[in-house]
Structure 1
Amino acid sequence: MRMMIAVLLATASFLSPLSVLAGSDDVEATIKAVNVDGLSLMLDDGKTYSLPEEFNFDGLESGVKVIVFYTEVDGKRVVDDLEIVQ
């Protein structure tokens, strides 16, 4: 019985980090529009990405190529991180 519990706990601890990553994704695209007041970006993939209130918009403008790391929350793409592609 102890062995079965140990195997179950080991399996659960191994798989738990994977469930966190399952909802996150990334996309490389060009910025189509920046909405500072609405805290959002529209990329040339046609999708809109929501940004947190403390987000720094420096260097972001239409035509800039970026990699956006996001998580889908209630059907909205919420940006976790963003990198400008040089």
Structure 2
Amino acid sequence: MRILIAMLMGAAFFLFPQPGSAESADVEAVIDSVDENELTLKLGDGKTYVAPEEFNFDGLKKGVKVVVFYTETDGKRVINDLQIVQ
């Protein structure tokens, strides 16, 4: 009986998302604005993406098409990686 309960609890952990958990995703869009002071990018999808402190903004400006790989944590889209689309 203990084994069955442990198996059910383990399955529930994977089947039901945990509040505050991070979710990874990517988006391809055109940059609307870049704010190096606030470490943010606003894309054509209307959403704002937060960059880490060591992020390199070289070559990023309005109108550049990018693919942003990000993790959504606590309602913020934090950039993990970014590629400029040629």
Q: Please give the alpha-carbon distance, in whole angstroms, between the structure 2 residues aligned to 1:23 and 1:34.
A: 24
Identity of counterpart residues, as a percentage? 65
Alignment partners' CA distance in 2, 1:57 and 1:66: 12
* Cα distance in 2, alignment partners of residues 48 and 66 from structure 1: 14
In the TM superposition, what is the alpha-carbon distance from 1:23 to its structure 2 partner?
Answer: 1.4
How far apart are the structure 1 equivalents of 2:76 and 2:57? 20
For residues 13-33 of structure 1, what are the alpha-carbon distances to aligned partners after superposition, in whole Å with 9 as ceiling and x for unaligned?
xx8xxxxxx710000000000
Structure 2 residue runs of 5 or longer lacking an equivalent are: 8-13, 15-21
Deviation at 1:55, TM superposition (A): 0.3
| 1:82 CA drift (Å) | 0.1
Task: Name the SS of the counterpart of 2:81 in structure 1.
Answer: strand
Q: Secondary structure at the match of 1:63?
A: coil
Moved segments of 4+, more than 2 Å: none
Matches within 5 A, 1:40-59: 40-59=40-59
Q: Over aligned residues, Cα RMSD in angstroms?
A: 1.7
Unaligned stretches of 5+ residues in structure 1 = 9-14, 16-21
Please state which structure has a larger fraction of its residues in helix: 1
**TM-score scaled by length of structure 2:** 0.75
Q: Counterpart of 2:11?
A: none
TM-score normalised per structure 1: 0.75
- One-letter amino acid matched to 1:31: I
| C-alpha distance after superposition, 1:56-83 (max 9, x if no partner) | 0000000000000000010000000000
Return the letter of the residue paired with 1:28.
E
| Residue aligning to 1:27 | 27
